[in-house]
Amino acid sequence: MNLELALVLGLLSLAIAMFVLNRPRLDVVALIMLATLPFTGTVSVSEALAGFADPNIVLIALLFVMGEGLVRTGVARRLGDWINSQAQGSEARLLVFLMFSVGIAGSVMSSSAIVAIFIPVVLRISTSTGMAPSRLMMPLSFAALISGMMTLVATTPNLLVNAELSRQGLEGFHFFSITPFGVVILILGVLYMLLARRWLPENRDPSERARRPSFRDWIESYQLADREIRVRVLSSSKLIGKTLGEMGLRRSGITPLAIERIQGRKKVLIQPTRSTAIEAEDVLLLDVHTDESKTHQELAEEFGVEELPLGVTHRYLTDRSQDMGMIEAIVPADSGLVGKTVLETRLRDEPRLTVIGLKRGKQVVSNYLLKEKIQVGDTLLLTGFWEDIKRFQQPSDDLVPLNLPTELEEILPAHDRAPQALAVLALVVGLMVTQLVPNVQAALIGVLLMGLLGCIDISSAYRSISWKTLVLIVGMMPFSLALQRTGGVDLAADALVNLFAGGSPRLFLTVVFIATSSLGMFVSNTATAILMAPVALSIASYLNVSPYPFAMVVALAASTAFTTPVSSPVNTLVVGPGQYRFVDFMKIGLPFSFIVLAVSVLLVPLVFPF
């Protein structure tokens, strides 16, 4: 071992030790390595910094931005809502739909990003079904890790292994080269989790009761379930051309909450004011709270409108939570609203909110709400557009805001751009699959199109990029070059070849897989892929066999991080919501890691012969 190799190995050991201790941060460790590695004489400063110009680094950054576009447009959240509806209350069905959906969606997104997107989805599902989050969080993390085995761009290690092939003058993998193995492993993962779910803990967040109320909670507590109706204005209606102020609907106990109107090819939601004129084909969202005996059908016939069905799962504006919200407020002692009826408060003029519920203590006012006089200490439930609710959050002399719903945290800035985001995603995947342009150019085209179509903006694009991840990758990349120049890669390969001399290529595949996945238990899978890819290719050269099965095994093993909560950021993200212990991952993850090992060693040589 020469002096230069000893220095490089010393720095590498120091980096691994700091990774394991998580002191300092991973990206800071990478920067330390960038600054010190040139002192060994193995790489120049320009070579150490060359990673910032690597196309794969740019591609990874662009994929973060595309993932943000899918988040902002609500594509993943709509998928989660669909999963919940398809499960029909069955835990087994929910687990199957969740894992397959995450596995497929994660094939074109960062696995960490897909988990971050689905955690609130799973929590919402847990709340609505009463299921403990720990029953779903680990299946979520397993599916996200497996999604990294679905396509070339699904996770960073795949791109780094591919980059190492290109750096050594070999043809890289195609977009779907890894897919056959990922599909098999995903199916086995779902079957395994169905059997292993009996060992999943039943942990519940002790602070669950302190969470914000939801629309569902308020609908029940304020008895709103049957209050909303929606009507379409017929061309023969006597309402056409009249303003809401002229119609005086509120005096009859009918409060317009919003108006759906077609403008060009787009359906928009309009906030109703006294001067808003009604047009044919408008859809009115109405709150009906009247003591009169008229039915909804009789009211529809009277005004020349058609009542629309709301759907089985719809409950009082729940499908409009992206545009409209609710807020609770209390009436202070010096409020100017005391003694006035709800109708006289004129809160619809300023702060442009509508009172839809009133509690006096714990008692809900269930009689004719608009004629009820307000008293000190009353709690009002108001609804309106989110921008007005956000302006209303500061206390005033008349009302003091109390609670905001959980739906506030789920507002999507570009929720009406989901079709555009899906179209752009399909275009990018198509360009990558057909290889009409390089992958990085395809992703750049996709990002620009998402910006042009309003799926993302400049600020959200820059915020979405995980600069810590990029710095970590760039900081570790020079080690591959340094180890090759100093003979470290050959030394590691020689040691493994001599240790298992006379063994079959499959045995060496097994050794490479175990070494990669074991190192990944303590070091990020990104750094693991950077370190193990050149070693695996060197072993293939010693054995005089194809390098592709060894490169593929490194990619698969780098995503086999099921064993500990610190093996991958994917696992770390679900530890808190799932209230997991270290042993929970060992108990469920270790057996499945051996399953992935067996599948990889058996199948990889069939697709990529030695």
Give the separation between CA 300 and CA 302, rounded to whole angstroms. Answer: 5
pTM above 0.75, yes or no: no
Give the separation between CA 375 and CA 210, rounded to whole angstroms. Answer: 28
| Pairing state between β 324-330 and 400-403 | antiparallel
Question: In this predicted model, what pLDDT tens digit does every residue of 40-60 receive, in sequence order?
Answer: 888 899 988 888 888 877 887
Give residue 293's pLDDT: 53
Q: Contacts for 31-35 with beta carbons within 8 Å, 24 or more apart?
A: 31/471, 31/475, 32/475, 33/475, 33/476, 33/478, 33/479, 34/474, 34/475, 34/478
Give residue 547's pLDDT: 93
Label residue 208 left, alpha or beta by phi (over 0 means left) and psi (-120 to 50 means alpha).
alpha
Give residue 556's pLDDT: 94
Q: Give the largest CA-CA distance in the chain.
A: 95
Give residue 159's pLDDT: 87
Residue 610 in tokens:
């030695």
Give residue 592's pLDDT: 94
Give residue 347's pLDDT: 85
Question: In this predicted model, what pLDDT tens digit does every residue of 332-377 receive, in sequence order?
Answer: 888 889 999 988 888 887 788 999 999 988 888 877 788 889 998 8
Give residue 345's pLDDT: 86
Pick the closest to residue 457 from 113, 68, 112 (CA basis): 68
DSSP state of 328: E
Residue 24 in tokens:
């300092």
Give the separation between CA 91 and CA 89, rounded to whole angstroms. Answer: 6
Residues of the chain with pLDDT under 50: 208-210
Q: Concatenate the DSSP letters of all residues of 427-470 into one string.
A: HHHHHHHHTSS-HHHHHHHHHHHHHHTTS--HHHHHHHS-HHHH
Q: Which domains does the chain have, with CATH numbers?
A: 64-212+415-469+496-610 (no CATH), 215-319 (3.30.70.1450), 325-410 (3.30.70.1450)
* Exposure string for 253-284, b = 16+ CB within 10 A, e = fewer: bbbbbbbbbeeeeeeebebbeeebebeeebbb
Give residue 120's pLDDT: 66
